[in-house]
Amino acid sequence: MHILFLTPMSQELQPLLDAQVIDNSEPLPPDLTLYTGRLDAHDLSVGLLGIGKVNATYATTCYLLKTQPDLVVLFGAGGGVHQHLPQGTLHAAAYTWTHDYGAHEPERFVRWEPGALPIGDVIAPTPQPVDSRIKSTIECAHPHIEWKTIASGDAFINNSELAQQLAQAGVDIVDMESSVVVDIASKFNCPTLVIRVVSDKADDNAHTDFTESLEDVCQRVTPDILAIMRTAIDALQD
């Protein structure tokens, strides 16, 4: 089996490089680098996306075309919009969707399904569910991992009021890439597992909390990430 592991930022990628599962790298023109190695008996490709939906769309497409994986795993930090999600906790995405596509009407912002013309009768965004085989197997093997709804947008959420609005819309964690990675991988008929570690609360202090915690929280969850990846592989092989 071939696994494609993706992260938006180098700080999120470094713990996996330190885990000594990578033994080679090659340039992927014009501006990407593909790392390769092994995870147990499986081929492993690792790539850096860059920040935001545009970078993630471009890089994910390039990596998928190059590697043709059986599973995509996306890892990175995210903002927990609910106060009961402590900093440093690891969560998997039960659903992903895009929170910043829609229409700015006179007194409100209306979210639409990405790609739909945001005029007329509203077509609400459809959350993308994780592969049921992966979810059920991880739930049995790693019951401490909580499954959350992760919403992506091209803005770092550093606003307590907006974080509360997103929480009221059913969001648990915000980031800037997950929804497009899942959408693109699905076009390649490839399942995706999204794993996010909470780095901040997406509140007025998020910029400070994120900067101060990023490297530490990513480093601490590396053993869990590798274990969860192995379980996801088992789920697809059964």
Residue with tokens 């990596």: 63
Q: Which of 3, 51, 29, 11 is nearest to 178 (CA)?
A: 51
Q: Which of 5, 14, 12, 48 is nearest to 214 (CA)?
A: 12
Is 113 inside any structural domain? Answer: no
Is 120 inside any structural domain? Answer: no
Segment 148-194, tens digit of pLDDT = 999 999 999 999 999 999 999 999 999 999 999 999 999 999 999 99
Is 75 inside any structural domain? Answer: yes
**pLDDT of 142:** 97
- Taking the model in full, what pTM does it have? 0.96
Is 112 inside any structural domain? Answer: no
Is 103 inside any structural domain? Answer: no
Tens-binned pLDDT, residue by residue, of the chain (238 aa): 999 999 999 999 988 888 889 999 999 989 999 999 999 999 999 999 999 999 999 999 999 999 999 999 999 999 999 888 999 999 999 999 999 999 999 999 999 999 999 999 999 999 999 999 999 999 999 999 999 999 999 999 999 999 999 999 999 999 999 999 999 999 999 999 999 999 999 999 999 999 999 999 999 999 999 999 999 999 999 7
Q: Which domain range does residue 185 map to? A: 2-97+129-237
Contacts of 37 (CB under 8 A, 6+ apart): 21, 22, 23, 24, 44, 46
Is 115 inside any structural domain? Answer: no
Segment 31-52, tens digit of pLDDT = 999 999 999 999 999 999 999 9
**pLDDT of 156:** 98
**pLDDT of 17:** 83
**Residue 76: which CATH number?**
3.40.50.1580
Q: Are the C-beta atoms of 178 and 96 separated by less than 8 Å?
A: yes
Is 119 inside any structural domain? Answer: no
- How many CA within 13 A on the CB side of residue 18? 13
Is 107 inside any structural domain? Answer: no
**pLDDT of 89:** 96
Q: Looking at the 3D structure of the chain, how many domains does it have? A: 1
Give the CA radius of gyration of the chain: 17
**pLDDT of 83:** 82
Q: Are the C-beta atoms of 81 and 164 separated by less than 8 Å?
A: yes
